[in-house]
Structure 1
Amino acid sequence: MLTKTASTPRVTVLLAVYNSERSISKCVESILEQSFKDFELLIVDDGSTDQTADIIRRASKKDNRIRILSNSSNLGLGASLAWGVDEAVGEYLIRIDADDVCLPDRLERQVRHLDQNPEVDVLGGAALEVDSSGKQIGVRCMPAEHDDIMACIWANPFIHPTVAFRRRRLLDVGSYDPELRRRQDYELWFRCAERGLRFANLQEPLIYYFFDENTHRKQPLRLALQQAGIGWRGCRRLRLPLWQQLAVSVPLIRALLPAPVQHFLYKALSIVDPRKRGARKSESCL
């Protein structure tokens, strides 16, 4: 782990990548062109077998704010993020995924909010949903205030690649679980809640979030079962109502259904998504 010095950047942007040659350049470019400049971009290459490693290596030679860590094999997102958190040096740690793109003032907005609201430990935001053709198809917003976020913690009330942390507080709760290849964010929110961290979501979009109508169909049964288990254990630890303990099984039930029924259920449930209730009616979230 690097030692903090007077020249240490205030922010570490953490990006874990695996075989992302098609999208990584746009993602990295969107970070390097941020209006806020005092950051390092820490990229963890999780054993990529395509051209990803070459692309990020070339980028690092052009901009010394890029630092690269490389796994010798594919260990999964949880392990890669945990390593990145350990190696980060910024006061604030900000996440992004390789297939998403930051809006130009994303870092500036989150740093300003964290500076002005010292009680907030975990800060997410809204996202502009973009389909595979690059067309904007919607805006995804999450509950704004801590109490509203806690009311639907069981429903995963953050868009993970929008999230910023106070790194010290993230380390206090044990960081990401390196054993979880997927759903490591969902598990982390429960631990953060259990340890009393304070949450918030900005209502302005921070990223272009690439998403299409088939995204919800990609979850295999094994992953749905894992998600339900994480949700059930988290709800039990937080002593949440029985209906919430049962509601975390909805993705598992959906995964057991035929594809056409899955699609219908997904659309129906999106109408009554509990995460929408705490989202403010800002212009971007209408």
Structure 2
Amino acid sequence: MPSISVLMSLYEKESDVFLEECLMSLQKQTRLADEVVIVFDGFIPEKLENLVYRFEKKLNIKLVKLEQNVGLAKALNAGLKVCKGELIARLDTDDYCRSDRLEIQEQYFLNNPEADVVGSFAQLIDFSGNFQGIRSNPINNNDIYKELWCCPLLHPSVMYRKIIIVNVGAYNPNLKRRQDYELWFRVAKQGGTFKNIDKPLIAYRYDRDTNKRQNPKIAFQQGIIGFKGTMSLRLGFVKSIMCFYPFFRSFLPSVVQHKLYFFMKKFDPRN
């Protein structure tokens, strides 16, 4: 059986309530991870640190402590170097897993040896824990490949083979956001195979505050990543231009952005 590492990055502003829910979901897994690698991205408050230590033995947590906050890409790369698992399950510290997530994804890899990156559907919840719907994605490699322009893989839901991520250079350390988006284009260029499991294996937090982080500068950088990646895979000029949709949306008030997000899901291949 393949070994599994869960890879997470923690920073000082994380919610202790969300973190505890996240770690509890890993403790309740029907197939426990062989290790959980948590990167402390700079200073971590005592409350969060003590919470991690509470689960240290139960989850076989391996800590990577960075002196300064370096951002998600560099933090994940530091953690990836420590991970011993053949399979790496990503998870954000404000999300949580269904109790059989790791078991289902591990079995999927065993049944589909050609798969390199396997994501899943997700429950959308707001920051109060209220159910907001199901985020689905294309399932088969060809469909995912064609829709890479809109990132049809939810990063905290994916499990991937460590070797292919290392071989393509891991996460781009120069990117502050959308590191996964850019990574998938490089995996595709190397012939990697993508899959999504048609079950919600994680709960993913999303509400109007999420849109506030998508300012015009960040959205434009995302558009550039998508444009270059989509053009490099020859997915078509229209899809390349559509990568800038979040940029134009970012000029709207956050309340309008939030409503527009759910309206546009009717036309979204990730609906």
TM-score (norm 1): 0.88
1:250 correspondence with 2:250: no
Q: Is structure 2 residue 54 aligned with structure 1 residue 58?
A: yes
Tell me how far 1:240 sits from its aligned partner: 2.1
Q: Which moved more, 1:191-200 or 1:15-24?
A: 15-24
- Do the aligned partners of 1:46 and 1:70 also contact (CA within 8 Å) in 2? yes
Equivalence map 1:159-238=2 (5 Å): 159-238=154-233
Q: 2 CA distance for matches of 1:193 and 1:227?
A: 18
For residue 22 of structure 1, give the secondary structure of its aligned residue in structure 2.
Answer: helix
Q: Taking structure 1 as reference, are residues 260 and 55 closer, same or farther at Cα in structure 2, changes over 3 Å only?
A: closer
1:147 to 142, 146, 165: 142
User: Contact 1:9–1:38 (CA<8 Å) still a contact in 2?
Assistant: no
Q: Report the 3-state secondary structure (helix = DSSP H, G, I; strand = E; otherwise coil) of the residue aligned with 2:257.
A: helix
Q: Deviation at 1:258?
A: 4.2
Which stretch shows the higher mean deviation, 211-220 or 181-190? Answer: 211-220
| Distance in 1 separating the partners of 2:17 and 2:178 | 23
- Counterpart contact for 1:9–1:39, Cα < 8 Å: no
Cα displacement string for residues 81-113 of structure 1 (whole angstroms, at most 9, x for unaligned residues): 111111110010000000001111000000000
CA 1:105/1:210 → structure 2, altered by over 3 Å: closer, same or farther?
A: same
Amino acid at match of 1:48: F
Q: Which residue of 2 aligns with 1:157?
A: 152
Alpha-carbon spacing, 1:256–1:137, altered in 2? closer, same or farther (3 Å): closer
The answer to whether the Cα contact below 8 Å between 1:125 and 1:202 also exists between their aligned partners in 2 is yes
User: Which of 46, 60, 64 lines up with 1:69 in the alignment?
Assistant: 64
Is the Cα–Cα contact under 8 Å of residues 26 and 32 in structure 2 kept in the other structure? no
Please list every run of 5 or more consecutive structure 2 residues that lacks an aligned counterpart in the other structure.
none
TM-score w.r.t. the length of structure 2 is 0.93
- Deviation string 1:48-104 (CA, Å, 9 cap, x unpaired) is 3423223213321x4361111111011000001111111110010000000001111
Q: Equivalent of 1:11, from 1, 4, 7?
A: 4
Q: Cα distance, 1:260 vs. partner?
A: 5.5
| Aligned: 1:100 with 2:78 | no
1:104-137 Cα offsets, whole Å, 9 max, x none, are 1000000000011000000000111112222222
Q: Secondary structure of 1:23's match?
A: helix
| Amino acid in the other structure paired with 1:16 | S
Does the CA contact (< 8 Å) of 1:14 and 1:42 recur in 2?
A: yes
CA offsets per residue over residues 132-173 of structure 1, 9 Å max, x none?
222222111111000110111000101110000011111111
Q: Distance in 1 between matches of 2:59 and 2:152?
A: 35
Root mean square deviation, CA, Å = 1.8
Identity among equivalent pairs (%):
37
Q: Residue in 2 aligned with 1:48?
A: 43
* Cα contact 1:9–1:40 (8 A) shared by 2: no
